[in-house]
Each structure stands twice: as C-alpha cells, then as structure tokens.
Structure 1
Amino acid sequence: MSQPPGATDRPIRRRFAADGRVRSGCLTCKARKKKCDGQASDLDGRCRSCVRLGLVCEQPPLRRVPVRPPRRKARRDDEITSSSKDENGWRAASQVAGSSTDGDEDGDEVAEGTGTLAGSGSYIPDDSGSWDGIERVLLRYFLDHVAPLCSILQQDGNSFCSVLLPMAIVDPSLLHALFAYASVHVDTASPAIPVTPEARIKFESQVTRGLADAIKNNAVTESTIACALVISTAEVIGGDTSRWLLHLQGAGHLINHFGIPRLLRTSDGAFLLRDFAYHDIMASLSTGHRALVNGVYWVQDVNATVKSADSFMGLGHHIFTHLTEISAFAADTADLDLSSCSDRRSRETLRAEDMAQALRSEDLRLQVDPTDSYIKALIHHAEAFRFASLFYLYRHLLRFSDAGAVYRLRMEDCVRQILHHVSQVPSNLFCEIGLLFPLFMAGIGCGDNTSMIQYIQNRLTCIETWTRFKHVGRARDLLQLLWDNGRTDWELMLRELDWNLSFA
C-alpha cells in the first residue's frame, strides 16, 4: 500500500518500557531513591510503597499559573519571578521537613560544644494546615533539638536517631510517638511552632492503638518497647507526675514478655535495655519501690571494663549496679523504724554497711583518655552519683539505726562531695542533664546553708533553662517547698502532693 507524502519524515513516537518508574512519583519515594508506582490509593491517596512501609506519601505541590496582565504580553522576568516564588516556597518547606542535605540554613541548631539551643526556630507549617505539614516540622525538630537532649553524651549523642528512626520507618506507631515527644518539648522551647491539642491527641491515639494491637496480636517487637519508652520520657519532660510511671511500667512488662536475652542479641535491643534500666532505676529511687526488672540485666558482662561512655549512665556503669541493690534494700526495710525488732534492725544495718562499703570502694574500671576534658566531666558525673547513692542509703538508715549521729556526719560529707564533683562539670554541658539526682540529694542534706541552697537553685535553673525539661522544675519546686517549711521528708511531701517524680 502506498503511504501519503511525508509520512516517512514524521518522527516516530516511542513509549518507554513499563518498569514501574514514573515521572509523577511521590516525593517520598524520590527522597528514598526508590521506584514509585504512581498509583494513588483510593483510601488515603498514598502509593503502594508508602502504604507498605507506613510512610507519609508526600506528593509534589501543584504549581500556580501566573496571571497575565490584560492587553499586554507578560514579561519573561515577571514569569520567572512568579515561578521562583512558588519554587522557593516549596524549597523552604522541604528544608523544614529535613529534605535538605546541606545542613540547616535557618540557624536552628544545637550549638556545638554546649547544650544551648542556638536558635529559636522558624518552623512554620504549610498554609494548608494538613497533618502532614506539622508532622514534617516535628520530625525535623526531633532530629535537631530533642534527640541530642536525650543523651548525656556531648558527642555521638544521636544514637537515638540511629536506633529509633530506622524502627520508625517500618512502625508508624513509633513514628507518631516521636511526633508526640517533639510536640511536648516544642511547647516550651519553641512556641512559634503551632501544635494544636488535637494534633497531639492524634499522635498519642496512634501510639496507643499500635501498642494495643501489638499486645493483642502477640506481635511485640523492639519498636513496641521503644514506643512505650518514648511516650514515658515525653510525659516526664512535660512535667507529668502520674502517667509517666504507668508508661514505664508498661515498658517493663513488654521487656519481660519479649525477653531480655533476645534484646541483648542486637545492638538496638541492648540500647533499649539501657534506656529502660536508667529510667527504671531512677524511678525506683524516687518512688521507693523496687526496680521493675531485677539485676544488672542491661549488659552482657557485669564486670566489663568501661571503654566508652554510655548514653544514659555515662562512665558510672558500675555505680548504677549498686543503685539497684540500694533501691531493693529501701523497699525491703520500708516498714522499719526505731521501735521495730532490734535483731532485724541489726541485721539490716549490717547489710547496709556492706553495701555502703562496696559502693565506696567501687572502681569505675575505666579505659578512657584521662586527659580529655569531657571525659573528666563524665568522671565527676559518675562520682557525684556515687556520693548521692551513699547519701540516699545513709538517710534511709536513720529511720531505724541506733547510730544516727554517725550517719549524719557521713551524710554531711556526702553533700560536700556531691557539690564538689558537680562544680567540676561545666554548665550547659550535656552530661549536666544527668545531675538531677545528685543535686536533689544535696538539696535534701544541705540544711539551712544559704550558699549551698543558692548554688543548687542556680544549677537546677540552668539545666531547666537550656533543656526546657519541666520535670527539673518540678524537682526544684519540691526542694523549695521543703526549704521554706524547714522539712527534709521529701517522700512524705510527694505523697501529700500526690506526685510521682522522676530523677532521670
């Protein structure tokens, strides 16, 4: 058959092979450098990859068509200005969402070498007011500001990111827990970020639903445990005095269900164990109850040499092993007083003396660089915990021991030692976050010494100012109530206030 003239000159229109990659793919898949099928779900508009991984499916923004002035042709530079305005608007939003790999350009960083927040933040969600907009903002805020504050380490403190974020990619419940955590902290640290109560309720509801489904279906994983820990810690820094303990107890049940040996098999599981152990031990000291899990369960080798600092315990790993015994001793002898059976009081006093001697003589077993200034600060951090633990033990012995005068003298020495070691930790250093328990014990034992009281007040105020952790303010307020009323019975005061206070 003959072809019409010029048919052979027409370019042949070819179709690319269907390999699953489309130009209209979502921005989430593009950021992950993965193929996107481009098929939006009828349910929520997400592509199949984002649905499978439980990710927010971010679609490219619609471009506006510039309005041309009537009766004259729009100048090209006007078009460029209008187009670049939209592109810059999206670029600013994507930088807030963390899609920029060149570092922060808005100045909201944690100042290097200190714990001070360098900027107040310019995180503004998109005009649409969608949940996705505020979620992107909160995730970026968590990475930049909250995660570094979760560790007492000056360097490599972002293990929270390296452990929790990979879990959150495949577990939407944990991702919403991070949103909730950031939303609690942002209230006081950066009020320019508008997080509505409805948004926070939505995040917490997603976490609760995920935890309930995991327990119901017997599908508890490491990320399930992480959810409970994150929510508990979020309640703590928000100044809560009741719910945080319930979440921590829930995390303890999940750990026992999942199995400590299974957690120790992976580095992520061991990290979660140390996280829980630190908060569990601090909670046992402030509530007067036994630790939820017994023994030194968070490490493979109890007597191992300390070669590097831990995110939670610093260089005081071996000091914390004694704290678990002290909290158990306090729980066992809570019913004793000077009118109790003398034989039992004598036995328990000898038991406490053995514990005190072991704690006083405990070697930190360090294999670290002693000339490093930050390592020196961490050593003083560990020593402050040693003497705060001794003070806690001696003070408990005053309830039923006949040698009250001896223990009061020892407690006075412990207070001096605590304040000496705390003073060697520079202000705004990250490990200062871990000094709440030593400072509180020193506040209980300083009596009416005005200079000590002023120093403790100033140090706690400094910690609260740069961390924005409200539970530090709760501890300072409790000390102030005790000082104003000439009291030292802080456990009774907590019961009167109906508070559960965390020292973590």
Structure 2
Amino acid sequence: MSDSAQNVKRRNGSKHDKTGCLTCRYRRKKCISNTFPVCGACKRLNLECVREPTLRILPRSRTSLGQDEAHHEQTSLSLARPSDPSLNSLSLHGSGMAECSKRRYAMKFYIDVLAKLLAVSQQYNSFLSDFLPMAVESPALADALVAWSSGHLSVYNSAYHITALEARATSLRALAKSLTSEDIASRETSAAASLVLLTSEVCLGDHTKWYNHLTGVQQIIECSRSPVSMYGRVLCGPEALKQSPEGRWVLRNFAYHDILGSVTLRKPPLIPGNYLEEITDVVDTYIGVGSEILIFISEVSCHHTSSLAHGYLSSDEENPDTTNSWSAIEQKIKNWRCPPGTLQALESLAYAYRCAALIHLYRQTLRSLKLVHDDTHWEKHENPTFALYSKIEVEVSTTLQYVANIPLNDVPESALLFPLFLVGAEATYSSHMDTIRIRLSLMAKKRNFQNIQRALGVLEEIWERRAQGFGNNQVDWQDIVGQQSDDLLLT
C-alpha cells in the first residue's frame, strides 16, 4: 500500500448518521438528545418524532402469532416494498412466468397486500369480504381486480404491465356486456368493477380517466331497479342498492370517491350524499366510523358559491337555527361524535375528517366572500374574513393532534391523505409543514400510490409561494390545482 493511501484520513462516523429519529434524518439535522419516545430536537420544535419500526430477526412462535394476529396482518403490508424478498424474486422471474401464473400471482397480491393497503380496518375489509365473493360471479370484477393488482406490480416489474393492460381490456368488454342486464345483482357487480377500475387509475397516477369511471358508476346507480318488494313497491336508484350488504358497500365506496372528488374538482358531487343517511352505522373500509361526515362535506360542496357568503354574514342576524343556514351546518359538523367504544385510532381518523370538513366549509366561505365583497352585508361586518382564518388555524392544529394519535404504519393511516392535504394547504407554521411532509412522504413510500406524490407536490408549491411572500392565507390551493391540466383525487 502506498504512503499516500496510508495517510488518508477518514471521518469518524457519528452515531447520529444511522440512528436518531426519521424526522431529524429527513431534515438532515443532528438528533439532539436522542431520547424516547420524543427526541430533544423534535420536542423543542414541536415536531412529530417519527421512528422506524423495529425489525424482528427470529420468527414468531405459533402461540405469539395467535395472540398477536393483528400485528401479523399489519406486517404483511411490508410485501408492498421493493426490498421484500417476494418482490425481489418477482423481478427476477416475472418475465419468464406464464400469463396465467402472472394472473394468479396478481390475485394473490391483491388478497395479501393491496386490499390491506387501502382498508382502515382488517376486521372490516370489504375489499376481501365483499369484492371477492362478487368476483366469483362477475368476470368484469375479477379482471378488474387482476388489472388493478397487476398495474401496481408493474411498478416493480414491467412484465406485469402487459398483464394489467390485457386484464383491463377484458374487464371493460365484460363490463359492457353486463350492463345490458337489469338484474340488481348484476348492477352491484358492474358498479363494483367500475369502482375498482377507478381506484386503479388513481393509484397509478392517471388524473382524468378515473372520472369517466365515476360518472359510469353514477349512471349504474341511478338506473338500478329492485324487484317488487313485499309491499308492492319497486325501489329505484340508491334505495335499490341498499337492500344488500354488497350494495351498501358499493354506495359508500362511490360516495367516498364522489364526495371527496367534488372538493378537488371544485363542483358538486354527482349524487348529493343524502342517500348515505341510513348506511353509516358500520365500520366502513375506507373511512371507518366517519361515513356520516361525507354527508356534511357533500352539503358544503352542493351550496351555491354566493350562498355560503350570505349565510355566513347573516348567520348571527337572521334565523341562526335554520336547518340550511351557515351556522347550522357548522354546528352539525362540530357536534358529530364517534359511536361509543370506537378504537382510538379509528376515532382519531374520524375526528381528523371532521376537522377537514370544517376547513372545507371555512375555505369555501372565504372563496364565496371574494365574490360578494360589494354586497351590503359586507359593510355591516369589520373584516369578516379574520374570524374564518382564526377558525381554520384552530382546526389545523387540532387535526394534527388527531393525526399524531394514529401510529406510523398503523392500518387507519391509509385514509389520512384527504385531511392531511386540506390541513397542509392551510398550514402557515414550518413545524406543521414538516410534520405533514414527513407523514405523506412515508405514506407514499410504503404504498407507492401516485396520487399521494401529486398531492405532496401541490402542497410543496403552496408552501414555496408562501415562503416567497405571497401571504400566509392568500394562497388558495384550488388556484394552483386549477392552473394545472391534471385533476387531483385525495382518496
């Protein structure tokens, strides 16, 4: 060895290079006082202290598996990561597998991994308990599930891209054939197949085709007719689908995409959410116990733009208790409570959505006020927007407290995109922005859903504009999304 090589001085590694919390490592800062559960730096800056999950070296015994089944189900989600051995073997041998073997693996991947990535509860997972039995009698739904799963697998192995395209084409042909049937069971499976194709488009980053599937589901629902009941009545539309558990799941699934989509599309939902009123007393796969909150969000989105401003300016003057008044909507949202006995993580998720519904109301009202600033009502109020901005600031902090109650990588985390985005769009403190950025980044890394990355990209642009002096509250995320050619769906 030469003298020059022997004289090379290497920097001694710091224990903080490979240890410390993820928050400090993401910020490229030294993790001061690396204590548990919150490090000194995060405590000082009031940041969420995110830690890596512990790794198990030795396999669990049968006894511990039986006692900790929930943990076992959760760890199976790690299959979705490219570093997992099953996906490594997939990348090595996928191109040589027969097409039928790829379809089988795709369906297995759907059952073991993909269906769990979107559910907030493994005990109440309609992707498995409802969609799989329906797929047995519906070729359109079965191929839609294969297309969705293969599309997700194609991110890791391009050989599955062809499988996804073929399954999608087969599903669309079968769907077109099934639409000719007026049987209510066929309507349910046709709507389910369209919803799966919609979800597939969203997860893979398409920003336009998903809405075509959504309008298709709307038409299927509105054209549904039930057989003549014992009372001699024929039920139509959503009422026809409410007669079976599968139909009710299809309605909640549609409402989740339709109502949350209305927020980012800046238009009323295709079907107002009142049809949910009798089917929210369950733990929904997408949103847990908070399905009723979708009705409130729908009500806000259905209001005419100027009516929110007039309702807000007159809320303390005339008819404050009117059912459709601005203050009545606000109180309905604020007074909503989780059912007794709800698990803490699902409770925190539901209340995060409640806060998001309030933020949606306040932001929509601010947009409405810009259109009626010359109205006589405006002259009676000094700076009517100040109170709304104060309300938004309170809900931002409250939402992040609820989000902090949901452990990292816990199952209910799958539904956090919508509340995190609305909160992030209103965040003005750097500590809040860092918390949201880290949480969304980790969610995107785990799930590899492109709509999460796009939502984070929109937030980064909002935060950059605020940093450049455009005003803390003057930057409206809808203006940024409206300037872009692609739509955004936060499901």
TM-score (structure 2 length as normaliser)? 0.70
| TM superposition shift of 1:266 | 1.1
| TM superposition shift of 1:363 | 2.7
Aligned counterpart, 1:497: 484
Aligned counterpart, 1:363: 337
Whose radius of gyration is greater, 1 or 2?
Answer: 1
Aligned counterpart, 1:161: 128
Aligned counterpart, 1:30: none
| TM superposition shift of 1:113 | 3.8
Aligned counterpart, 1:270: 248
Taking a change above 3 Å as real, the CA distance of residues 211 and 335 of structure 1, as seen in their structure-2 partners, is farther
Aligned partner (choices 347, 367, 370) of residue 399 of structure 1: 367
Taking a change above 3 Å as real, the CA distance of residues 347 and 475 of structure 1, as seen in their structure-2 partners, is farther
Aligned counterpart, 1:466: 446
**Equivalent-residue separation in structure 2 for 1:296 and 1:110 (angstroms):** 37
AA aligned to 1:238 is L
Which runs of 5 or more residues in structure 2 are unaligned?
1-69, 225-236, 370-377, 379-383
Aligned partner (choices 177, 182, 187) of residue 213 of structure 1: 177
1:182 corresponds to 2:149:
yes
Aligned counterpart, 1:194: 159
Taking a change above 3 Å as real, the CA distance of residues 398 and 136 of structure 1, as seen in their structure-2 partners, is same
**Equivalent-residue separation in structure 1 for 2:288 and 2:180 (angstroms):** 37
| TM superposition shift of 1:391 | 1.1
1:144 corresponds to 2:144:
no
Corresponding pairs, count: 377
| TM superposition shift of 1:348 | 12
**Equivalent-residue separation in structure 1 for 2:389 and 2:95 (angstroms):** 62
Aligned counterpart, 1:41: none
Residue 160 of structure 2 aligns to a residue in which SS? coil
Alpha carbons 1:313, 1:320 under 8 Å: kept: no
Aligned partner (choices 361, 373, 390) of residue 409 of structure 1: 390
Alpha carbons 2:114, 2:149 under 8 Å: kept: yes
Q: Which moved more, 1:394-403 or 1:223-232?
A: 394-403
Aligned partner (choices 427, 434, 438) of residue 415 of structure 2: 434
Aligned counterpart, 1:63: none
Aligned partner (choices 476, 482, 488) of residue 462 of structure 2: 482
Alpha carbons 2:308, 2:326 under 8 Å: kept: no
Aligned partner (choices 244, 247, 267) of residue 210 of structure 2: 244
1:154-179 superposed Cα distances (whole Å, 9 cap, x missing partner) = x3254312211222222222111011
**Equivalent-residue separation in structure 2 for 1:501 and 1:226 (angstroms):** 22
Alpha carbons 2:276, 2:292 under 8 Å: kept: no
Residue 273 of structure 2 aligns to a residue in which SS? coil
| TM superposition shift of 1:192 | 4.4
**Equivalent-residue separation in structure 1 for 2:362 and 2:278 (angstroms):** 31
AA aligned to 1:232 is L
| TM superposition shift of 1:287 | 1.0
Taking a change above 3 Å as real, the CA distance of residues 428 and 301 of structure 1, as seen in their structure-2 partners, is closer
1:388 corresponds to 2:356:
yes
Aligned counterpart, 1:171: 138
Taking a change above 3 Å as real, the CA distance of residues 130 and 116 of structure 1, as seen in their structure-2 partners, is closer
Taking a change above 3 Å as real, the CA distance of residues 129 and 113 of structure 1, as seen in their structure-2 partners, is closer
1:107-158 superposed Cα distances (whole Å, 9 cap, x missing partner) = xx995345741434234768875421211111111111111112111x3254
AA aligned to 1:497 is Q
Residue 261 of structure 1 aligns to a residue in which SS? helix
Which runs of 5 or more residues in structure 1 are unaligned?
1-108, 370-374
Residue 310 of structure 1 aligns to a residue in which SS? coil
Alpha carbons 1:115, 1:149 under 8 Å: kept: no
Aligned counterpart, 1:291: 269
If each structure's helix is expressed as a fraction of its own residues, which one has the higher value?
2
| TM superposition shift of 1:319 | 2.3
| TM superposition shift of 1:193 | 7.1
Aligned partner (choices 418, 435, 444) of residue 425 of structure 2: 444
1:372-416 superposed Cα distances (whole Å, 9 cap, x missing partner) = xxx111111111111111111111212344410111111111111
TM-score (structure 1 length as normaliser)? 0.69
Aligned counterpart, 2:296: 322
Identity of aligned residues (%): 27
Taking a change above 3 Å as real, the CA distance of residues 309 and 296 of structure 1, as seen in their structure-2 partners, is same
Residue 421 of structure 1 aligns to a residue in which SS? helix
Aligned counterpart, 1:424: 405
| TM superposition shift of 1:214 | 2.4
